[in-house]
A and B are shown apart, each in its own frame.
Chain A
Amino acid sequence: MNALLPILEVHNVTFGYKETHVLENVSFSINPTDFLAIIGPNGGGKTTLIKLIMGTLSPQQGSITVFGETPAIGRKYIGYVPQFNPIDTDYPIQVWEVVFMNRLLHHPFQRYNAKAKKDVLRALDWVGIAHLYHRSLSALSGGEKQRVFLARALLNSPRLLILDEPTSSVDFYAEKGFFELLKALNQNMAIVMITHDLSVVSRTVKQVACLNVKLIYHGDKELTEKDFEEVYGCPIELIAHGTPHRVLGAHHDHH
């Protein structure tokens, strides 16, 4: 597989309900070693974009190619971590069962054998929660639950990892290891992360895109005040982060 070809291509995608456009003419691509953060206000289309990439929705215009195939076919090479949903986490299921769920993607009828167990333990180990193997999902903290879903996404060794608001459960964010973990994972796969958390953006990612119906892509991370205004629609207080990465361009000495 040519390491230089983009693994994900979104081309002029437009999507909407009746009169309103949720996404308009969105284009960007992801390469095998990218680490992209997609930021933007609520309602700006971030989750819709993910659904289009995963193939649960189809664009009205434009196209999406995942590993050279349509989303419905290519999505089996993607590891997906959905947004943390605090509503129904009372379902009686154990951690290893949640992770094993992803095996259905490639082998719908496989029984849980020794090899499967090995793979599950490896995925759990990768995110540092092998000790939670037998625990009931409902008994875990928010942060631990997110790690379980991350382990699930990693079970089949995906080449692209998509995370939807991974820091939205507070104590997860408090765990320092998370960002180091993502950096380590990025050695083996591309990562696309939707986030509200700008400090995450400054610490870990390589590329940033601002999405509010339209998408403004930044190959590096130099974002100016004007970019944020355009995306969020109102002037925001900007906090500059220090070396080695500057998310926000210095106010006056740029452009």
Chain B
Amino acid sequence: MGVLASIACGIIGSYVVVKRISFISGSIAHSAFGGIGMSFFFNIHPLIGAIGFGLVSAVIMGTVHLRYKQHEDTLIGMLWAVGMAVGILFIHFSSGYAGDLFSYLFGNILVTSTMDITLILICDVLILITVFGLYRAFQAVTFDEEYAMILNLPVTFLYFILLCLISFTTVILIRVVGVILVIALLTLPAAAALNVSRNLKWIMLLSILFGIFSTLTGIFLSHWWNIPASSIIILCCASVYFLSLGVIKFR
């Protein structure tokens, strides 16, 4: 499961880091918590609510980026907080005990259901197909948006697709490290890979490998020492990143 998550996170994380939209991604992740809360309330699988909310916030973020750029920063922060607040509200009104809450905030990779794996697999496949098919188009849009418009690319549409892929990925990562640490898992492996390579395909591959390494180490150590897996995973990601800084100096 850690492996599957790392695939999505490596590919999409690379785009996030390269286009410098980590805060937008964080906002989508945290607002997905609203969806999780809503899912508890309506008694459906939390990841479904999370995906729904994630997509809605992706659409909002996309519209903001294209029409209200000056207010983008504020609106990112607002979506972030409002999503969390809505989630908390729904959970409060949910019947029964939301015992799973902790695992959605802080991740619980050790306990995964078949439904989880299925959803993640679907997301992975969607991401792989989209990125493979639209590789050159995404490259142009993330490199220079205005020039991409002149190339007659549907920049708006492609940007929305990218944000939707980000929201799928963040929802997967919520299962692994929880809402709070999603940004870290999304960006650290890719940032580390960026320090090592200058070729986007290699960067994606490397960040997938770094992600796999971190998640597997995290799972293993958390089993052994009986501490939360998410914390080890993130600390692992951070260590890899610091090591990658060493690579730059070495050049």
> Which residues of chain A are within 8 angstroms of B136 by Cβ–Cβ distance?
100-101, 104, 108, 110
- Identify which of residues 69-109 in chain A touch chain B, using a CB-to-CB cut-off of 8 Å: 72, 75-76, 80, 82, 91-94, 97-98, 100-102, 104-105, 108-109
For residue B72, give the distance in angstroms from its CB to the closest CB of chain A.
Answer: 17
Given A56-B150, A136-B198, 7 more pairs with CB closer than 8 A = A56-B149, A92-B18, A93-B143, A101-B136, A101-B151, A104-B136, A105-B152
**Cα separation A76 to B152 with both chains bound (whole Å):** 8
Nearest B residue to A97, CB-CB? B139
Interface membership of A58, Cβ < 8 A: no
Contact call A108/B203, Cβ cutoff below 8 A: no
- Where chain B touches its partner, the secondary structure class is helix
Q: What residues on B are CB-neighbors of A91 within 8 Å?
A: 18, 142-143
Q: Would you give the shortest CB distance from B205 to chain A, in whole angstroms? A: 13
Chain A residues with CB under 8 A of B149: 56
- Chain A residues, Cβ within 8 Å of B81: none
Instruction: Write the nearest CB–CB distance from B65 to chain A, whole angstroms.
Output: 16
Hey, which chain B residues are within 8 Å of A80, CB to CB?
147, 150
Lowest 8 A-B CB distances belong to which pairs?
A: A136-B198, A92-B198, A104-B151, A105-B151, A101-B140, A92-B200, A54-B150, A91-B143
Indicate if A138 sits at the interface (CB-CB under 8 A): yes
Cα distance, A202 to B150, chains bound together (Å): 31
CA distance A80 to B137 in the complex (A): 18
User: Provided the pairs A92-B197, A92-B198 are in contact, do residues A108 and B150 lie with their beta carbons within 8 angstroms?
Assistant: no
B150 to A, closest residue via Cβ: A54
B199 near A92 (CB under 8 angstroms)? yes
A residues lining the B interface (CB < 8 Å): 54-56, 72, 75-76, 80, 82, 91-94, 97-98, 100-102, 104-105, 108-110, 136, 138-139
Q: How many cross-chain pairs have Cβ atoms below 8 Å apart between A and B? A: 56
Tell whether, in the assembled complex, residue B137 and residue A138 are in contact, meaning their CB atoms are under 8 Å apart. no
Contacting residues of chain B (152-201) with chain A, CB-CB under 8 angstroms: 152-153, 194, 197-200
B-side contacts of A109, CB under 8 Å: 133
Which A residues touch B100, using CB under 8 A?
none
B146 adjacent to chain A (CB < 8 Å):
yes
Q: How far is the CA of A110 from the CA of B136 in the complex (A)?
A: 9
Residues of B within 8 A of A98 (CB): 143
Interface size class of B (residues with CB under 8 A): 20 to 34
- CA–CA, A138 and B251, complex, Å: 15
Whether A56 lies near B146 (C-beta < 8 A) is yes
Q: How far in angstroms is the closest Cβ of chain B from A68?
A: 18
17 examples of A-B residue contacts, CB within 8 angstroms: A55-B150, A56-B149, A56-B150, A75-B150, A76-B152, A82-B146, A92-B199, A94-B198, A100-B136, A101-B136, A101-B151, A104-B152, A104-B153, A105-B151, A105-B152, A108-B137, A136-B199
Which residue on B lies nearest to A100, using beta carbons?
A: B136
Query: Closest CB-CB distance, B196 to chain A, in whole Å?
Result: 11
Q: Show the binding face of B for A, using Cβ within 8 Å.
A: 18, 133, 136-137, 139-140, 142-144, 146-147, 149-153, 194, 197-200, 203
Q: How far is the CA of A75 from the CA of B148 in the complex (A)?
A: 12
Known A101-B140, A104-B137: A138·B198 in contact at CB below 8 Å: yes
Q: Residues of B contacting A93 with CB < 8 Å?
A: 139, 143, 200
User: How far is B149's CA from A91's CA once the two chains are assembled, in angstroms?
Assistant: 18
With both chains docked as a complex, state the minimum distance between the C-beta of B119 and any C-beta of chain A, in angstroms.
Answer: 29
Checking B143, B151, B197, B203 against A102 with a beta-carbon cut-off of 8 angstroms, the contacting residue is: B151
Partner of A104, one of B140, B144, B199: B140
Task: List chain A residues, Cβ under 8 A from B197.
Answer: 92
Among residues of B, the one whose C-beta sits closest to the C-beta of A149 is B147
Q: Which A residues lie within 8 Å of B142 (CB)? A: 91
Chain B residue numbers with a CB within 8 Å of A105 are: 151-152
